[in-house]
């Protein structure tokens, strides 16, 4: 018979469901792709027109989904940044 090794108390155990994934739902994946594409378009527009506001907002739109794990917060921040892109247009 095979014996299973005893649990090592010094090693942390990873439990299922203990860690939140970056893209936990299809809505989070869609939101990340959507706001990333809007951010890329804003960045390219700002670079071609030599405007720093759309460039900065575009970079933030592309980067923030990596740091936000909740879907409602992803959409809230994304919509706010898109509104800022509209308000701070030149």
CB 82 within 8 A of CB 38: yes
Residue 10, pLDDT above cutoff 70: no
Q: Domain residue spans in the chain?
A: 26-87
Distance CA(34)–CA(75), nearest Å, equals: 10
Host H or E run for residue 87 = helix 71-87
pTM of this prediction exceeds 0.85: no
Contact status, residue 43 vs residue 58, Cβ threshold 8 Å: yes
pLDDT at 15 over 90: no
Query: What's the pLDDT score for residue 18?
Result: 46
Q: Are 75 and 49 in contact (CB under 8 A)?
A: no
- The model's pLDDT over 19-75, given as tens digits with 9 standing for 90+, comes to 556 668 899 999 999 999 999 999 999 999 999 999 999 999 999 999 998 999 999
């Amino acid at each position: 018979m095979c014996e299973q090794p005893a649990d090592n108390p010094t090693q942390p155990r990873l439990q299922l469901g203990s860690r939140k994934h970056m893209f936990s739902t299809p809505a989070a994946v869609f939101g990340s792709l959507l706001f990333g594409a809007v951010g890329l378009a804003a960045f390219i527009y700002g670079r071609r027109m030599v405007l720093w506001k759309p460039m900065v907002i575009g970079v933030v739109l592309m980067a923030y989904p990596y740091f936000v794990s909740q879907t409602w917060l992803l959409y809230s921040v994304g919509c706010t940044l898109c509104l800022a892109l509209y308000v701070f247009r030149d």
